[in-house]
């Protein structure tokens, strides 16, 4: 399960999974005292519990944490922690894709970052077709399925129109 909160990747692993400590800018234990100013770069937290999840989520609600790149959480009971995390949110399924025309890649600028186009899927929307429907609804671009796609489901930009 890939989890992003405010575009920050949240990685949950079992305590027993191999980690490389040199990849982290800060390593904490769940009971350590810290503030939002301490959360810079790639952060690893050991022995994470439900109360820690609640604490970090509240912190992420009130602070932007712009300097936090990723948050890796090690837990004894990974499945239980994931269930607790899911209980805090409404799960949103999304899909996106690479859109290419004449060697150019379509990008979106959102929340101060450039990214590939993507969007939330409706309840019964197919992940392979959802991005196309989303872009048709919200963009001022016309789309068609490419005939010789390098990968199944690749969309190609045909023409841009102004609304």
Distance CA 17, CA 43 (A): 16
Sorting pLDDT into bands at 50, 70 and 90, what band is 152? very low
Reading the block at residue 91, the tokens are: 């799960």
pTM of the model: 0.62
> Would strands 8-14 and 3-5 be described as parallel, antiparallel, or unpaired?
antiparallel
Lowest-confidence region among 43-47, 90-94, 128-132, 143-147: 143-147
pLDDT in the model for residue 136: 61
Per-residue pLDDT reduced to its tens digit, 8-35: 889 999 999 988 888 999 999 999 999 9
The C-alpha R_g of the chain, in whole angstroms, comes to: 19
Question: What pLDDT, in 10s, does the model give residues 77-126?
Answer: 999 998 998 888 877 777 777 777 777 777 777 767 777 777 777 778 77
């Amino acid at each position: 399960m890939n989890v992003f909160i405010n575009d920050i990747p949240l990685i949950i692993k079992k305590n027993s999974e191999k980690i490389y400590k040199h990849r982290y800018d800060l390593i904490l234990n769940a009971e350590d005292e810290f503030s939002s100013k301490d959360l810079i770069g790639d952060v690893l937290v050991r022995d994470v519990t439900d109360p820690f999840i609640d604490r970090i989520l509240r912190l992420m609600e009130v602070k932007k944490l712009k300097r936090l790149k990723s948050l890796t959480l090690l837990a004894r009971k990974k499945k239980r922690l994931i269930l607790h995390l899911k209980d805090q949110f409404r799960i949103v399924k999304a899909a996106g894709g690479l859109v290419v025309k004449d060697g150019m890649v379509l990008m979106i600028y959102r929340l101060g970052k450039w990214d590939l186009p993507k969007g939330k899927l409706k309840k019964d929307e197919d992940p392979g077709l959802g991005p196309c429907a989303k872009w048709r609804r919200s963009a001022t671009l016309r789309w068609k399925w490419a005939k010789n796609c390098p990968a199944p489901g690749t969309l190609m930009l045909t023409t841009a129109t102004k609304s």
